[in-house]
Structure 1
Amino acid sequence: MFIKDFKPTQFHLTEVTPQYWKVAFNNPPVNVIGPDMMREMKLLLTELETNTTVNVVVFESADEDFFLAHYDLVADPAIAEALPSPTGYAAWVDILVRMQHLPVVTITAIRGIARGAGSEFLLATDLRFASLEKAILGQMEVGFTALPGGGAAGRLPTLVGRGRTFEILYGGEDFNAEIAEKYGYVNRAIPDKDFAAFVDAYALRVSKWERRVLQEIKEYVNKYTLLPDAEYPLHSDAFWGAATRPEFPSITKQLLDRGLQTRGDLEYNLGREVGTIFPKKD
């Protein structure tokens, strides 16, 4: 049985009921998205694509400060790209495209920081609920001289509109839950004292509906709101193209020297700090 045999190291998987599962990301110190997490995500997706019992999956974090900080900028990207890709797309695009087509309802329960690829993950889920006091969202890639590689530029416009998409992507700043709710970046911001109970009650309610109607709702909503799948690899190509130019590694090294991917002030305030770092000139 998958739920008993699967032993992930990057997240906890819990069966609340046979119809309702929870995934809690747990990759200290700040929950970056690296090759090991992507490998385990792909295994989970493969199960969910064929499982005929699960109706709802809630994604949350075991770390209340960091939901998913961002992509792992230290790991060798070739490791992730060597993983199986049923879509044939780059590793992160494969995960997000498959996520948005899963035959289950996907919900993100956002406590803590979700920037860059972390923000892109929640954009690929069906519903996004945020802790009013603890959730922080953002797409800071512009500060690295790059377009978001996982399709944020293609998913945000449907949610927040063209102008606010530009605001989010051009500015590279952090958005608290109150503003994120106002913009449509998240469905709802809930006071933290009520947050877990609200998400659990909603997920449990939805998990009891007839599976076929949930799938039909998703099919039609996706039809009218998503880009064609083949658009998303173009975003990945643009990101990795930027990563090969000298500006990107220059900024990344400066940020790593200041504490990127460690638990400290820089990661807590990356949306602000990325605007203070610029490529070094030879």
Structure 2
Amino acid sequence: MHEATSTTLRVSREAGIARVTIDNPPVNVLDVALMADLRHVLAELRDDDSARVIVFDSANPEFFIAHVDMSLIDSPDAFDQFETGLPDGVNVFQGLGELLRSQPQVTIVKLAGIARGGGAEFVAAADMTFAATERAGLGQVEALMGIVPGGGGTQYVAGRVGRHRALEIVLGADLFDAQTAERYGWVNRALPAADLDAFVDRLARHIADLPDGIIAAAKQAIPPHDLAAGYLREHEAWAQQFVRPAAEKLIRGGLAAGAQTRDGERDLEGLLRSEWARLEAPGS
């Protein structure tokens, strides 16, 4: 087994499978460091013919990727470094999803904890996701920050669950359990946490053991949808909301109330709703 480490990732390779473990304490926020490491490992693996399957998981049993780093409200240009080489009309967060969606390997998320916002977008951009019934959760929480998903979330969710359920997910802004996510089609399958590792490992090994050319042929025959027009619509909608005063107040207020801490992230939806109620209260 070949192993490598970066600031926020641990990567190992064995028998055609690359295992990428996200480790960005305390809650695996999608910050500049994690973005850089994910882009680097995807680019590196893209040219690795020995890797046929990539399995993503988390070193944190509670959180997969919490969401995009909310503290970037104070440094909005921090992600500009990733704009080089992006397709036209795609922002840096959508660009990460496109890298994942266009990966030649089969990409599998092993979701044992919570993924919200940009984390849920990453999950939905992967080829397959398998979730632990007791601990996994998915949510597009952006509406509670005064914005809409801006990293592909509206497009990925609508493609997986349909428009009516996508509107429920985006505007309801709740955390969905694994069983509901499976029923909606947001994830492939919900499994008991005790069975998750063995199931994903078995599937990854079976795929990695297929004859040469089969994976490429299948991905060619079943390509991801072209989301160019949808990305433009989504980015425009996100940008219109991000510049409004409510977004800044909610994001700053959420951080002050405990977002991006372990305790605050366990019920981020409740925390943000309380913050919105406080801001709306007379005299606030």
TM-score of the pair, normalised by structure 2: 0.91
Corresponding residue for 2:7?
9
Corresponding residue for 2:42?
45
- Cα distance in 2 for partners of 1:68, 1:211 equals 33
Gaps of 5+ in 2: none
- Cα distance in 2 for partners of 1:29, 1:80 equals 21
Q: Is the 8 A contact 2:13 2:51 kept in 1?
A: no
- Cα distance in 2 for partners of 1:11, 1:240 equals 30
Q: Quick one: which of 45, 57, 60 aligns to 2:54?
A: 57
With 37-46 and 101-110 compared, the bigger mean Cα shift is at 37-46
Per-residue deviation, 1:254? 1.2
- Cα distance in 2 for partners of 1:96, 1:196 equals 24
- Cα distance in 1 for partners of 2:8, 2:92 equals 17
- Cα distance in 2 for partners of 1:65, 1:16 equals 26
Structure-2 change in CA distance of 1:102 and 1:230 (3 Å): farther
- Cα distance in 1 for partners of 2:100, 2:57 equals 15
- Cα distance in 1 for partners of 2:70, 2:273 equals 18
Corresponding residue for 1:92?
93
Per-residue deviation, 1:237? 4.0
Provide the aligned length of Structure 1 versus Structure 2. 275
Amino acid at match of 2:255: L
Residue 204 of structure 2 aligns to a residue in which SS? helix
Corresponding residue for 2:138?
137
Per-residue deviation, 1:276? 2.7
Per-residue deviation, 1:241? 3.5
Corresponding residue for 1:21?
18
Corresponding residue for 2:200?
199
Cα deviations across residues 9-48 of structure 1 (Å, max 9, x unaligned)?
Answer: 111111132x101111100011000111111111112112
Amino acid at match of 2:122: F
Corresponding residue for 2:105?
104
- Cα distance in 1 for partners of 2:233, 2:40 equals 24
Amino acid at match of 1:231: G
Corresponding residue for 1:179?
180
Question: Quick check: 1:271 aligned with 2:263?
Answer: no
- Cα distance in 1 for partners of 2:236, 2:9 equals 28
Corresponding residue for 1:251?
250
Cα deviations across residues 85-143 of structure 1 (Å, max 9, x unaligned)?
Answer: 32243221111111101100000000111000000001100000001101011001111
Cα deviations across residues 191-226 of structure 1 (Å, max 9, x unaligned)?
Answer: 011111111111111111134221221222225xx2
- Cα distance in 1 for partners of 2:67, 2:151 equals 11
Amino acid at match of 1:189: A
Corresponding residue for 1:79?
78
Q: Percent identity?
A: 31
Q: Is the 8 A contact 1:111 1:135 kept in 2?
A: yes
Corresponding residue for 2:189?
188
Corresponding residue for 1:220?
221
- Cα distance in 2 for partners of 1:233, 1:46 equals 24
Amino acid at match of 1:44: V
Q: Is the 8 A contact 2:86 2:92 kept in 1?
A: no
- Cα distance in 1 for partners of 2:25, 2:146 equals 27
Amino acid at match of 1:66: F
- Cα distance in 1 for partners of 2:146, 2:129 equals 27
- Cα distance in 2 for partners of 1:267, 1:135 equals 13
The within-5 A match list for 1:146-161 is 146-161=147-162
Residue 28 of structure 2 aligns to a residue in which SS? coil
Displacement over 6 Å in runs of 4+: none
Residue 262 of structure 2 aligns to a residue in which SS? coil
TM-score of the pair, normalised by structure 1: 0.91
